[in-house]
Structure 1
Amino acid sequence: MRARLKAIILATAVGFTVSSLAVTAADAQSRRYRVMVCDKSKAKNGAIIGGLSGALLGNAVAGHGARTEGTLLGGAVGAVAGHEIGKSKRKCHYEYRYR
């Protein structure tokens, strides 16, 4: 009788443990979701490089009395152009995350 009682208690404990592990694994699966992650550093780098080169080119092309305006305008146009070019070259991938 005593051995049978131990077997029943052991089977009950194992059953509860297995069922709680199954519920935990199912709960973890429901919390997982897919996210697209993109590398944005190329767009930032493109804006910086484009702004600097545009400023230098604007300074060189501007008339003698308007060098400051040429530098500012060239830098702004170069930064926008560099950002757009860099943005088109970004790499994206999917990652799985948990809540």
Structure 2
Amino acid sequence: MRKLFAPTALIATAIAMASMPVAADARTRTHKVWTCERDVRHAANTGTVVGAIGGAVLGSAVAGHGAKTEGAVIGAGLGGLTGHQLAKKNAKKNCHYVYRRY
């Protein structure tokens, strides 16, 4: 009887282990993801356009009589750069990390 007990127990244990799900397959993974409620790139591009137009108008108005074009070009460049940075900063205020399970 004892001679049959050890092999039978070994076979039963092997069958039980084979039928159990593998722990790695059943496990879920959690990732930290940066999400924004607004599209930051779209907001920054809009800020660039609005800033460039405003800067061009202001640069043309401030420039001297013979340098209206140069004032508009410089104002458009500075206004576009400033508008881009401000809009991007304001859009990122609604961004945060979220934990997601996969």
Interval containing the TM-score (normalised by the shorter chain): 0.5 to 0.7
Residue 70 of structure 2 corresponds to: 69
What is the number of residues matched between the two proteins?
Answer: 84
Return the offset for 1:81: 1.5
Q: Return the TM-score normalized by structure 2.
A: 0.63
Q: CA RMSD in A?
A: 2.6
Gaps (5+ residues) in structure 2?
A: 1-14
The 3 A distance-change label for structure 1 pair 59 and 43 is: same
Q: Are positions 1:33 and 2:35 aligned together?
A: no
Q: Return the TM-score normalized by structure 1.
A: 0.64
* Structure 1 residues 1-99: aligned runs within 5 Å: 16=18, 18-20=20-22, 22-26=23-27, 28-29=28-29, 32-38=30-36, 39-40=39-40, 41-90=42-91, 91-95=94-98, 96=100
Return the offset for 1:53: 0.9
Instruction: Give identity over the alignment, percent.
Output: 40
Give, in whole Å, the separation in 1 of the partners of 2:51 and 2:85.
Answer: 10
Gaps (5+ residues) in structure 1?
A: 1-11
Return the offset for 1:87: 1.9
